Structure 1
């Protein structure tokens, strides 16, 4: 019989491109409503008049996704630029403004242009907030879903204006003013495709640089967009080309406040699904960074950090890093911390460490991890097994998978497994014992802990994967003669007989039959494979 070692991962967090954050309002009244029910109508704003409008033309469906990313990048650039702009003289008037353009397709004509402008007597902070709110208005009212318009304007009288179009509506060239009057020359065929790709690459690199912006609102907006990009295959592929910028920048954001660290952590969880990116994270010391942050008293992203560790420990390098195999004095320290947190958090309503069970499964697929878990001086497996009573299915799966992987060491470490038989046999036999109440005669041949549980009604373990895993663990143990004797001593065959009678799942029944045939044969000569599943 060939069994494969288990490993678990965190799937892509389902995310879409996100709009800019709604930061706290400045010390002036609300600037503009986000109600989109009356386009092109005057809006009263703080006793002044403003208006907004959207084009009647919609970007064609084939380019909606590309336009969405370009549109958000453009608004982010305008907002970031306005945060550092100084007043300049234009036509004998003081102004603060910024312009930008972003290509969204393969043709040089597929460009979205934008302009942001504030009146001269508005403070720097109020200007920045006004542009932010105007951007939000455009995102909500002129975009969203597959309905992006090809132009829109927001004017907040007395404060600012933001406008975008798919044609260049500004033309003046001002030295140092930020206006660009150059018109891109047209080209076709392969040259067009290369120009489009180069332009998009440049915009993405610029977006990633905003992750290090000194302006908190700009940084927040940038990380939200990056997080959104990681929710799609296309976004992940694009970001992977800029891992040298994205990964260190996102890693640094993990130590900031929750508003920034949470989307950064979510982005890293998604990126770590890519094995090449996960390898780069391990190489840059991400395991140590996560473990250091995980145990900071004010950590607000604990669950996300644990999820990141799940993905990084799919790699052999990630497992070695978490086990600290290169340092004899520190070896296993991180793992001991995680096990302790896993056990302590089980009683909390908001379980931040339940995904540690998946990390333990991943760690135990390697011999070095199994040896640490089975070390009787550390007592880690004993602590882990006791968590099988949890009501959390994720915890139960983590415990059963870890036990199963550790049972691959039964040939050499059976004694260490049987040292904790008081906890091991209930964890392996109760899930497959059915929900029947056992007779006094049956119970009399069982240890107290097991018999006490089987003489009363109990909730069955409904998940067939857990039942298969426990049966495979039993199989690995009874391959050894001493293991078979121990199994008979707790009346294990009788429990399997009763459980098999009530079993309906074909895969679980097959696992029952494998164990039964081994007990009947009594030889147990066939060795399991330790090949790792991919």
Structure 2
């Protein structure tokens, strides 16, 4: 005899819209907390299958079914189950066809499953021959177009693609795809650093940092540097000029990416030309985040060690490096005991 939960799950793909809606509402509520998820654990596989069917049937219940799937996909074991059920292809089919209007939840589900390396590979379609990169190309196009056409404050259905980009660029295949010459994907990505949507900026900065950190190893450094406007975009969040970047993570990602580029001969030359020393000096004046400050100071030291004081842009670097050295000196002095001060001896 079926349990109440089994009966509830059975109604998720019922032919009657109102019955599906009732069932999806209850299931979504259960997946909103750990206690409810625990109750559903023994029935996770049939539950996930039924939820996908409910999504495909459309109507009001589809959104609640997707909410439940997003909640469940925070569990790595459920992610593996979803990948076994071809979740990436099914979600991308929904996105391409436009049959399911809840793109925000579909992309949020992709963000969760691409936390796993297997999920990233499925999205990149690695080993699928001519199909490789097709899903990513579709997502990137919709992501960039949305960033251009939406007004500040509008609902942004593709904002979670930014998190997907951060996730997948941990893999060299994704980094090479983004940096393919002539496709303009890198330029489209850096443009999101000026988006009004903080999620877009966070995702774009994370993906860019991933690409830069492995550029020498991947052999893609030239691809990053060939368009100098890319460096201008990367410097903007840390140059201290309005509009000031409010997200610490964005500034830290870009400061660390610039530090890595400064450590290479070609990157350092390109940064000089882009006015990086002066941009860093101005940004450093009001920067409060320790991680950003450290990256800027180390970059300034690299510039200073590869330049002369007579260089046209050296004063900015000197000012920043000197400030760093002065702070370090003050800290060391504070840690030293004052002259003539003796350790207090315990009373006999």
- After TM superposition, the score normalised by the length of structure 1 is 0.54
- Once residues 286 and 21 of structure 2 are traced to their aligned partners in structure 1, the CA distance between those partners, rounded to angstroms, is 55
Distance 1:390 1:512 in 2: 23
Shift of residue 521 of structure 1?
4.2
1:363 and 2:152 are equivalent in the alignment: no
Specify which structure has the higher proportion of strand.
Answer: 1
- Equivalence for 1:317: 118
SS of the residue 1:494 aligns to = helix
How big is the shift at 1:496?
0.8
| Equivalent of 2:226 in 414, 419, 422 | 419
Aligned residue among 183, 187, 192 for 1:387: 192
1:324–1:332 Cα contact (<8 Å) kept: yes
In 2, Cα distance between the equivalents of 1:277 and 1:267? 12
Q: Tell me the equivalent position of 1:513.
A: 297
The residue number in structure 1 matching 2:205 is: 400
C-alpha change, 1:515 and 1:239, in structure 2 (3 Å) is: farther
Equivalence for 1:498:
282
1:228 aligns with 2:12: no
Query: Is the aligned partner of 1:433 residue 2:239?
Result: yes
More helix by share: 2
Cα deviation, residue 515, structure 1: 2.0
1:142-157 correspondence to structure 2 within 5 Å: none
Q: Aligned-pair distance for 1:241?
A: 2.1
1:326 aligned to which of 104, 123, 127: 127
Match of 1:286 in 2: 87
Residue deviations 1:349-397, cap 9 Å, x none? 3321111111111110111111111111433122111222211111111
Match of 1:146 in 2: none
**Where in structure 2 are the equivalents of 1:92-171 lying within 5 Å?**
none
Question: Structure 2: how far apart are the matches of 1:410 and 1:257?
Answer: 43
2:66 matched to 1:265?
yes
Q: Does residue 168 of structure 2 align to residue 338 of structure 1? A: no
Paired residues, what number?
A: 301
Paired residues of 1:410 and 1:480 also in contact (CA < 8 A): no
Assess if the C-alpha contact under 8 Å between 2:190 and 2:204 holds in 1: yes
Structure 1 gap segments, 5+ residues each: 1-198, 436-457, 524-534
- If the length of structure 2 is used for normalisation, what is the TM-score? 0.82
The worse-fitting range, judged by mean Cα deviation, of 514-523 and 486-495 is: 514-523
Q: Distance in 1 between matches of 2:43 and 2:299?
A: 51
The question of 1:247 aligning with 2:54 is answered no
State the alpha-carbon separation in 2 of the partners of residues 297 and 276 from structure 1. Answer: 29
Rg comparison, structure with higher value: 1
Residue 105 of structure 1 corresponds to none
Q: What root-mean-square deviation, in Å, do the aligned CA atoms of Structure 1 and Structure 2 show?
A: 1.8
Deviation digits for residues 79-135 of structure 1, max 9, x if unmatched? xxxxxxxxxxxxxxxxxxxxxxxxxxxxxxxxxxxxxxxxxxxxxxxxxxxxxxxxx
Retained in 2: the 8 A contact 1:240–1:277? no
Query: What's the CA shift for 1:462?
Result: 1.5
Does 1:466 pair with 2:284?
no
Distance of aligned partners of 1:299 and 1:398 in 2 relative to their CA distance in 1, 3 Å threshold: same
Query: CA separation in 2, counterparts of 1:253 and 1:470?
Result: 42
Aligned equivalents of 1:420 and 1:252: distance in 2? 46
1:485 aligns to what?
A: 269
Cα-to-partner distance string for 1:218-265 (whole Å, 9 max, x where unaligned): 222111110000000011222232122101100111122331100000
The answer as to whether partners of 1:410 and 1:476 remain within 8 angstroms in 2 is no
Any conservation in 2 of the 1:477–1:484 contact (CA below 8 Å)?
A: yes
Aligned counterparts of 1:507 and 1:258: Cα–Cα separation in 2:
47
Distance in 1 separating the partners of 2:282 and 2:18: 63
Say whether the 8 Å CA contact 1:258–1:301 is kept in structure 2: no
CA distance in 1, matches of 2:41, 2:181: 43
Pairwise CA distance, 1:420? 2.4
Secondary structure at 1:295 match in 2: helix
